């Protein structure tokens, strides 16, 4: 008697059964696998370590300076407005000849938007920035006697001026102990960490709470310069960092070796 042939239904069901079996095995394997735990973020530095960190910065650079060139509070304000999404070096290249001729709000109004655009055309977003600079200059002349106001809330009402710009002007022009959070400072504060936060304002307010008063005037310059030249975004140079032993970022970098976990901010 010849052997019975499998029915067409059985042949059709075989792949489905095999697939179901494989899916069941995969499901059991996933269930047995241990959940992956993310590394816990390090705790912010304790007050004694914060004090030690800024003491080292102070010893290395007692009088840090911002890198935007200016000749008075007004030209500082203009330079900071122009520096948004641009490098300080690029802004300085454009403003050196500009500030030699234009160093007051009235002179900027007289120069006019068209000629200002031509003077700063090498800077990103130069059209909008030229419009804002002329508009803020007109506000200064009309409402403040041509002087730069010393109140942050008032500064923030000027065209092109946000909280960071206002803080830079208050600190550098008027000696106020403000914290101007740029991308470098934001990264350094979260990386060490000093005052971790998801927004520049959160970092600013956090730093104001933990930085000893005697360091406040220069604190944002130390952190900005440290982030710009040492604690870089993609390749932090931990091997030459003067606070590496205090910093809780891991793994520390070595010369020529990339760092896992370094962000691109």
Nearest alpha carbon to residue 65 among 184, 194, 173, 162: 173
Q: Which of 43, 103, 131, 182 is catalytic?
A: 182
Active site residue 121: no
Q: Please confirm, yes or no, whether 182 is among the known catalytic residues.
A: yes
Catalytic annotation, pick one of 131, 164, 232, 257: 164
Q: Give me the helices (H) in the chain, please.
A: 8-32, 47-60, 73-82, 88-101, 105-111, 113-119, 126-144, 152-155, 163-174, 183-191, 200-210, 216-229
10 Å CB burial of residue 213 (0-12, 13-18, 19+) is: exposed
Q: How far apart are the C-alpha atoms of 153 and 155, rounded to whole Å?
A: 6
Active site residues: 164, 182
């Amino acid at each position: 008697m010849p052997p019975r042939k499998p029915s067409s239904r059985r042949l059709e069901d075989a792949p489905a059964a095999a697939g179901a079996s494989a899916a069941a095995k995969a499901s059991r394997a996933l269930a047995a696998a241990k959940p992956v735990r993310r590394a816990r973020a390090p705790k912010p530095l304790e007050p004694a370590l914060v004090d030690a960190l800024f003491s080292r910065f102070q010893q290395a650079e007692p009088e840090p300076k911002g890198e935007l060139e200016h000749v008075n509070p007004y030209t500082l304000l203009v330079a900071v407005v122009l520096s948004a999404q641009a490098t300080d070096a690029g802004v300085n290249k454009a403003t050196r000849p500009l500030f030699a001729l234009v160093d007051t709000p009235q002179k900027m109004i007289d120069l006019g938007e068209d000629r200002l655009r031509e003077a700063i055309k090498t800077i990103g977003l130069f059209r909008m920035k030229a419009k804002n600079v002329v508009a803020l200059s007109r506000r200064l002349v009309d409402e403040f006697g041509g002087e730069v106001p010393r109140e942050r809330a008032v500064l923030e009402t000027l065209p092109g001026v946000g909280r960071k710009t206002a803080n830079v002007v208050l600190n550098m022009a008027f000696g106020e102990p403000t914290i101007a959070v740029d991308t470098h400072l934001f990264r350094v504060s979260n990386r060490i960490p000093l005052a971790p936060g998801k927004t520049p304002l959160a970092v600013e307010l956090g730093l104001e709470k933990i930085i000893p008063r005697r360091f406040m005037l220069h604190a944002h310059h130390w952190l900005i310069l440290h982030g710009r030249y040492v604690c870089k975004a993609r390749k932090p140079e931990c091997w030459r960092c003067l606070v590496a032993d205090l910093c809780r970022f891991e793994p520390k970098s070595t010369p020529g070796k990339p760092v896992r976990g370094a962000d691109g901010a």
